Amino acid sequence: MMLSEQSVQTAAGKKLKSAGALLVAGLLSVSLVGCSKAIKYGDAAEVETTTTGFGSTDLQQIAAKMVDSVLTFPPVVEITAKRRPVMFVDTIKNKTTEHIDTESITDTISTKLLRSGKFRFVDMTKVAAVKQQLDYQSDSGMVNQNAAMKMGQQVGAEYMLYGNLSSIVKRNSSRKDVYYKFTLKLMHLQSGIVEWSDEKEIRKSKEKSLFGL
Amino acid sequence: MNIVKLSALLSGVVLLAGCATSGIEATGKTEGDPEYAKHLVIHNEPLAKAITITDMKSRFKGDLLEVNVVLSNLSSSDKSIQYRFAWYDGDNFEVEQGGRSWIPVVLHGKSSTTMRAVAPNPSVKTYKVNVREL
């Protein structure tokens, strides 16, 4: 008798629990619907401080500083006064612990340099595609040879742009501090001389909020 | 305790809502009137009382315009500000529109900082700098 009473009570308890769970789930779904926000476009130039991780503002600051610096460095001003030297961009070594698309940084820098009218670029990421196209034009028999682009006529790069991105991250119970250092160098390929170099430092910190939110 | 937290949070919200995103705007030209104060437009009076542009210089490096703007904090507290340059050609058309992002700077109390930028290409003749506090 006692056993059956207990089993009835357990069954009732289970029902109550499931009803409670349903109620919580319902409330949650209602609250989620209530909190849903409309999608809107933002300003890509705004300062972004969502986390201390590497973000768009860091990329924009680095690119602006590097482009301004290289374009106003006196020996570079002299080199670019009468001609537009050809350069190629090597990879930026990511020495931070984060996954950062460093090609995106160099893309922004090379685009700004190209648009300044001071430099020209060769794109090493497209060598295979260019070769394939030139092979097609010269060997396929499909292209009028008078109008075909000839092999062996490309202009070699005179300068190489390369660099590093490193970071130091420190944290304690209430504060996280991130320091980024981006170094960029411009090397003359024939002589091996580094003609220009500059650094951009960025410090970001995050304190735990007053109410622990 | 909860009431204290709630009232503090609410006052924070009110303070945030009160923050103005407008600021100070200054226009500089490569030639003409060097009195930069005449080209200063203040959209935010409280900010203009705490922060002021104390110098604006420009020069050509090669054929690119280089600009140096000195911003001073008149108050004794640190100010987190943002600035952005915009560039215009001889016909007053914006050059490389959207090419410049807002740059955040911490301006310490009673100190100055230099905002330096180089025009994106040789067609630039006029520049504008906007300063705001967020």
Q: Which residues of A touch B66 (CB under 8 A)?
A: 68, 72
Query: In angstroms, what separates the C-alpha of B38 from chain A's closest C-alpha?
Result: 27
Beta strand pairing call for A159-171 and A86-94 = parallel
User: What is the ipTM, given to two decimal places?
Assistant: 0.74
Residues contacting A79, CB < 8 A, separation 6+: A85, A195
Minimum Cα–Cα distance from A118: chain B residue: B121
For residue A155, what pLDDT band results from cuts at 50, 70 and 90? very high
State the Cα–Cα distance between residues A89 and A110, nearest whole angstrom. 8
Which tens digit of pLDDT belongs to each residue from A90-111? 989 999 999 999 999 999 999 9
Using an 8 Å Cβ cutoff, are B123 and B89 in contact? Answer: yes
Task: Identify residue A28 by its one-letter amino acid code.
Answer: L
The stretch A183-204 carries a mean pLDDT of 96
Strands (E), B34-102: 40-42, 51-61, 64-73, 79-89, 94-95
pLDDT, averaged across chain B: 78
Using an 8 Å Cβ cutoff, are A93 and A165 in contact? Answer: yes
* Cα–Cα distance list, B62 to A75, B72, B104 (Å): 11, 29, 28
The yes-or-no verdict on residue A17 having pLDDT over 80 is no
* Domains identified in chain B and CATH numbers: 21-133 (2.60.40.3230)
Secondary structure of residue A106 in the 3-state scheme? helix
State the Cα–Cα distance between residues A118 and A83, nearest whole angstrom. 8
In this complex, do A67 and B5 lie within 8 Å of one another by their Cβ atoms? no
**DSSP-derived secondary structure letter, B37:** G
Predicted pLDDT of residue B118: 93
Q: Which CATH superfamily is domain A56-122+157-207 in?
A: ABC-type transport auxiliary lipoprotein component (3.40.50.10610)
Predicted pLDDT of residue A92: 93
Nearest-CB residue to B121 (from A80, A81, A115):
A115
Q: Which residues of B touch A112 (CB under 8 A)?
A: 99, 120
Which tens digit of pLDDT belongs to each residue from B24-76? 888 877 665 555 555 677 778 888 888 888 888 888 988 899 999 999 999 99
The stretch A48-52 carries a mean pLDDT of 91
Q: Would you call A45 an interface residue with chain B, using a CB distance cutoff of 8 Å?
A: yes
Q: Which residue has the higher pLDDT, B119 or A21?
A: B119
Using an 8 Å Cβ cutoff, are B96 and B121 in contact? Answer: yes
Predicted pLDDT of residue A210: 66
In this complex, do A68 and B116 lie within 8 Å of one another by their Cβ atoms? yes
Using an 8 Å Cβ cutoff, are B49 and B74 in contact? Answer: yes
The stretch B77-95 carries a mean pLDDT of 91
